[in-house]
Amino acid sequence: MTPDYKFQPRITSDAQERVAAVLAGALGSSKSELLTDLQYQQQRQPVQVWLAYVEGQLVGCKLGYERQPGQYYSWLGGVHPDYRGQGVAAELMRRQHAWCQEQGYRRIRTHTYNRWRAMLLLNLRHGFDIIGTMQGTHGLTIVLEKHLSCVE
Mean model confidence pLDDT for the chain: 93
Looking up residue 120, the CATH number of its domain turns out to be 3.40.630.30
**pLDDT at residue 151 in the model:** 43
| Model confidence band, residue 112 (pLDDT cutoffs 50, 70, 90) | very high
Higher-pLDDT residue of 47, 136:
47
**pLDDT at residue 54 in the model:** 97
| Model confidence band, residue 145 (pLDDT cutoffs 50, 70, 90) | very high
Pairwise CA distance, residues 140 & 61, whole Å: 24
Task: Please give the average per-residue pLDDT across 87-91, as a whole number.
Answer: 97
Whole-number Cα distances in Å, 144 to 35, 40, 46, 122, 131: 25, 24, 22, 11, 5
Three-state DSSP class for residue 35: helix
**pLDDT at residue 149 in the model:** 76
**pLDDT at residue 14 in the model:** 85
User: pLDDT by residue (tens digit) across 21-40?
Assistant: 999 999 888 899 999 999 99
> Is pLDDT above 50 for 72?
yes
Strands (E), the chain: 4-8, 48-54, 57-68, 71-79, 107-113, 129-136, 139-147
The boundaries of the domain holding residue 121 are 4-150
Pairwise CA distance, residues 60 & 114, whole Å: 21
Query: How many structural domains is the chain composed of?
Result: 1
Sheet holding 129-136: strands in order across? 4-8, 48-54, 57-68, 71-79, 107-113, 139-147, 129-136
> Is pLDDT above 60 for 150?
no
Three-state DSSP class for residue 51: strand
Pairwise CA distance, residues 113 & 104, whole Å: 28
> Is pLDDT above 60 for 55?
yes
